[in-house]
Amino acid sequence: MKKTFTFAALIAVIMMIFTISCLPIVVSAADAQEEPTVVTADIDKQAQTALTDTPSDDSPEIVRVGKSSGKSHNIFLAVIVGFGVAVVGTAIFIFVNINGYKNNGKTEPYPFTSKAPLELTVKDDVLINKEVTSRKIESNNNNN
């Protein structure tokens, strides 16, 4: 039992480290194939070209902006999410199984619906109060 538990825990830790360490490689491989998502041109050159209607000899300068600085942040958040999902999911799995092994077959011991028939002699339903409440519904159109 101890061996099984130790072995499984070891596998779990190794796979977690492997997954975390592979993520940056996967991310950078994906980035290398991507087209730049943001293109900035020399604004002055473009404006001048538009005004003078003379094609510019220089091609606009392509600059990749703002993508690399957020990558490590995303990886970290993804790992946190993965860890949270793993902890919650595992806890639910353990709880359901432990609960399922206790009190198997704990059902109603006396089927009173069939074995204890009721013979009603009095059945009164008397109205004692009626009230109406209202509330205004907030509409999104009011904000526009």
Between residues 31 and 58, which has the closer beta carbon with respect to another protein? 31
Phi, psi of 75 (to 5 degrees): -65, -45
Between residues 52 and 136, which has the closer beta carbon with respect to another protein? 136
CB of 106 to another protein, least distance (A): 5
CB of 30 to another protein, least distance (A): 10
CB of 60 to another protein, least distance (A): 31
CB of 40 to another protein, least distance (A): 25
Between residues 34 and 57, which has the closer beta carbon with respect to another protein? 34
Between residues 57 and 108, which has the closer beta carbon with respect to another protein? 108
Half-sphere exposure in the Cβ direction for 139 (13 Å, CA): 4
CB-based contacts of 67: which residues, under 8 Å, 6+ apart? 31, 37, 38
End-to-end CA distance of the chain: 65
Binding site for another protein (CB under 8 A): 1-2, 4-5, 7-9, 11-12, 15-16, 19-20, 23, 74-75, 77-87, 89-90, 93-94, 97-98, 101-107, 109-113, 115-137, 139
Q: CA-CA distance, 22 to 11, in Å (whole number)?
A: 16
